[in-house]
């Protein structure tokens, strides 16, 4: 039981971490695109 609970918590932490990473990468990419458009 303890293993299952810890696994669920780990999965939640990992999923939120990955989602946060994706969001961060997305914002970085969009800002880079905006800067490129402004520079042209």
- What is the pLDDT tens value at each position of the chain, 40 positions in all? 688 889 899 999 999 999 999 999 999 999 999 899 888 7
Q: Is the pTM for the entire model greater than 0.95?
A: no
Residue 25 CA to residue 32 CA, distance in Å, equals 10
Q: Which residue has the tokens 């994706």?
A: 22
Give kind and range of the element (H or E) at residue 14.
helix 2-39
Residue 32 CA to residue 29 CA, distance in Å, equals 5
Gyration radius (Cα) of the chain, Å: 17
């Amino acid at each position: 039981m303890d293993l299952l609970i810890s696994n669920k918590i780990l999965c939640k932490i990992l999923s939120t971490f990955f989602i946060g990473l994706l969001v961060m990468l997305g914002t970085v990419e969009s800002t880079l695109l905006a800067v490129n458009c402004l520079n042209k």
